[in-house]
Amino acid sequence: MEIMIIGSGSSGNCTLIKSNDSCVLIDAGFSCKQIVERLDGFGIKPSQLDGILVTHEHSDHIKGLRVLANKYDIPVYANMDTAEALRYKNHAPEHFNLFMSGQKFIVGDFEVNPFPVPHDAADATAYSLTCNGKKASFVTDLGLAGRMIVHHVKNSDFMLIESNYDYKTLQEINRPWSIKQRIASRIGHLANEDAMKLMVEAVGENTQKVVFGHISRDSNSIEKVQSAVNLTLEENSLHGRFDVEIAVQNTPLGPFKI
**What pLDDT does 146 receive?**
96
Pairing of β 134-139 and β 158-162: parallel
Q: Where are the beta strands (DSSP E) in the chain?
A: 2-8, 13-18, 23-26, 51-53, 76-79, 97-99, 105-107, 110-116, 125-131, 134-139, 158-162, 209-213, 243-246, 253-257
Cα–Cα distance, 176 to 149 (Å, whole number): 30
**What pLDDT does 163 receive?**
98
pLDDT digits (tens, 9 = 90+) for 118-141: 999 999 999 999 999 999 999 999
Mean pLDDT of 44-52: 98
Cα–Cα distance, 53 to 249 (Å, whole number): 19
**What pLDDT does 52 receive?**
98
Q: Which of 33, 221, 55 is nearest to 140 (CA)?
A: 55
Percent of the chain with pLDDT over 70: 100
Helix (H, G, I), strand (E, B) or coil at 230: helix
Average pLDDT of every residue of the chain: 97
Q: In which band, very low, low, confident or very high, does the pLDDT at 198 lie, cut at 50, 70 and 90?
A: very high
Q: How many C-beta neighbours within 10 Å does residue 185 have?
A: 14
Q: Which of 247, 255, 253, 256 is nearest to 8 (CA)?
A: 247
Percent of the chain with pLDDT over 90: 100
Q: In which band, very low, low, confident or very high, does the pLDDT at 98 lie, cut at 50, 70 and 90?
A: very high
Whether the Cβ atoms of residue 30 and residue 2 lie closer than 8 Å to each other: no
Q: Which of 154, 161, 136, 157 is nearest to 245 (CA)?
A: 161
**What pLDDT does 48 receive?**
98
**What pLDDT does 162 receive?**
98
In eight-state DSSP terms, residue 183 is H
Q: Which residues pair with 76 in a beta bridge?
A: 52
By residue count, the chain amounts to 258
Mean pLDDT of 196-201: 98
Q: In which band, very low, low, confident or very high, does the pLDDT at 102 lie, cut at 50, 70 and 90?
A: very high
**What pLDDT does 147 receive?**
97
**What pLDDT does 38 receive?**
98
Q: How many C-beta neighbours within 10 Å does residue 141 have?
A: 26
Mean pLDDT of 175-179: 95
Whether the Cβ atoms of residue 159 and residue 178 lie closer than 8 Å to each other: no
**What pLDDT does 118 receive?**
98
Cα torsion 167, 168, 171, 173: sign: negative
**What pLDDT does 49 receive?**
98
pLDDT digits (tens, 9 = 90+) for 143-161: 999 999 999 999 999 999 9
Mean pLDDT of 35-47: 98
Q: From residue 212, how far is each of 59, 102, 194, 247 by CA, in Å?
A: 20, 24, 12, 6
Whether the Cβ atoms of residue 246 and residue 226 lie closer than 8 Å to each other: yes
- Which structural domains are found in the chain, ordered by start? 2-249 (3.60.15.10)
pLDDT digits (tens, 9 = 90+) for 19-34: 999 999 999 999 999 9
Counting beta carbons within 10 angstroms of the beta carbon of residue 192, is it exposed (0 to 12), middle (13 to 18) or buried (19 or more)? buried
| pTM, two decimal places | 0.97
Task: Report, in this order, helix, strand and coil percent for the chain, each rounded to 5.
Answer: 30, 30, 40
Whether the Cβ atoms of residue 45 and residue 39 lie closer than 8 Å to each other: yes
